[in-house]
């Protein structure tokens, strides 16, 4: 990577979107730089991917390795292990700064920085992170062997976490405010484990514990009754927030930190593109 060079194209993020963009850029013979903390992004956290056409089942890591192999065939520069902290436009070009103290410039930028886990924002959550509160079932599930754990959330990531945890935990409580929104195939798989208890219609009032998670305080939304569920671990899977803070100076973010674009996905900045769920355009 060259801090002196003004690249044709700078890609922020090396998940599936960023890597794909890099290949397209390289095929156009654009001098391309990819800046990312890792190669693979959130897909690395997927124990198994079952909806990527051409693969009936592939682990997230393996799929990303194949992406990387394809990308590495091109002369694409990578600045890995680094994160973009600021993006600005200056003198008809873009400039980024990174947490590692680097500064790169380019004629165009593709933001493919993806999302990160959203917090529940209930009492106890922040203080018990790393003490039984986790946002990565793939990483931490092996640490909860024979424990009772809960997964908060109703979508595919939540049910995927439920299924991953069921390989280790004694009982997995699936806590859902309304109805389960995950694909039925994931719900069926969870039911077949015989280890999953579905608790629908509950809100989480508190994650309880002093030095470690001891339980959840749940409130039944219809009846108002409050119950205490003793647990060894709580996995929060209630969606994700865009990694867009670095763009705040240049672009308009809405209250969900999504980059505001109009219905044609046009923005009043030349050479600007977006990908991977960062903008306010609903997918």
86 half-sphere exposure, CB direction, 13 A CA radius:
11
Q: Residue 49 CB: number of other CB atoms within 10 A?
A: 18
Element (DSSP H or E) covering residue 71? helix 60-71
Determine the Cα–Cα distance for residues 244 and 182; give it in Å rounded to an integer: 26
* 140 flagged as catalytic: yes
By C-beta, is 118 or 131 nearer to other proteins?
A: 131
**What is the closest distance, in whole angstroms, from the C-beta atom of residue 69 to other proteins in the complex?**
10
SS3 242: strand
Using CA atoms, how far residue 143 sits from 120, 133, 185, 254, in Å, is 22, 12, 26, 37
Determine the Cα–Cα distance for residues 14 and 36; give it in Å rounded to an integer: 6
Does residue 12 contact residue 35 with C-beta atoms inside 8 Å? yes
Determine the Cα–Cα distance for residues 235 and 226; give it in Å rounded to an integer: 20
* 228 flagged as catalytic: no
Q: Which of 6, 8, 136, 199 is catalytic?
A: 136
**What is the closest distance, in whole angstroms, from the C-beta atom of residue 209 to other proteins in the complex?**
10
By C-beta, is 72 or 265 nearer to other proteins?
A: 72
**What is the closest distance, in whole angstroms, from the C-beta atom of residue 263 to other proteins in the complex?**
36
- Give residue 193's Cα distance to chain centre: 26
SS3 145: coil
By C-beta, is 133 or 176 nearer to other proteins?
A: 133
* 199 flagged as catalytic: no
By C-beta, is 45 or 96 nearer to other proteins?
A: 45
By C-beta, is 143 or 227 nearer to other proteins?
A: 143
Q: Which of 38, 139, 188, 228 is catalytic?
A: 139
Give residues in contact with other proteins (CB under 8 A). Answer: 38, 40, 44-45, 47, 61, 81-83, 99-100, 129-134, 136, 138-145, 211-213, 233
Does residue 280 contact residue 258 with C-beta atoms inside 8 Å? yes
Hey, which residues are catalytic here?
136, 139-140
């Amino acid at each position: 990577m060259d801090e002196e060079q003004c690249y044709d194209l700078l890609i922020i993020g090396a998940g599936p979107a960023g890597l794909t963009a890099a290949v397209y850029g390289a095929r156009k013979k654009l001098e391309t730089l990819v800046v990312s903390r890792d190669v693979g992004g959130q897909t690395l956290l997927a124990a198994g991917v079952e909806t990527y056409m051409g693969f009936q089942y592939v682990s997230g890591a393996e799929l990303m390795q194949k992406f990387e192999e394809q990308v590495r065939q091109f002369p694409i520069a990578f600045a890995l292990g680094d994160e973009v902290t600021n993006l600005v436009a200056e003198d008809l070009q873009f400039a980024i700064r990174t947490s590692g103290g680097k500064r790169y410039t380019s004629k165009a930028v593709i933001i493919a920085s993806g999302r990160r886990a959203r917090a529940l924002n209930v009492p106890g959550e922040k203080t018990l992170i790393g003490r039984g509160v986790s946002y990565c079932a793939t990483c931490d599930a092996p640490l909860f062997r024979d424990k009772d754990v809960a997964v908060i959330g109703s979508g595919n990531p939540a049910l995927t976490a439920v299924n991953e945890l069921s390989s280790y935990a004694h009982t997995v409580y699936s806590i859902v405010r309304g109805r389960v929104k995950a694909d039925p195939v994931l719900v069926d798989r969870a039911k077949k484990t015989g280890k999953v208890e579905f608790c629908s219609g509950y809100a989480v009032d508190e994650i309880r514990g002093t030095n470690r998670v001891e339980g959840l305080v749940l409130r039944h939304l219809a009846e108002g009754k409050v119950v205490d569920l003793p647990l060894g671990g709580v996995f929060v899977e209630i969606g994700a927030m865009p990694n867009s803070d670095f763009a705040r100076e240049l672009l308009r973010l809405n209250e969900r930190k999504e980059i505001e674009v109009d219905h044609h996905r046009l923005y009043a900045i030349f050479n600007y593109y977006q990908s991977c769920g960062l903008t306010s355009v609903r997918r």
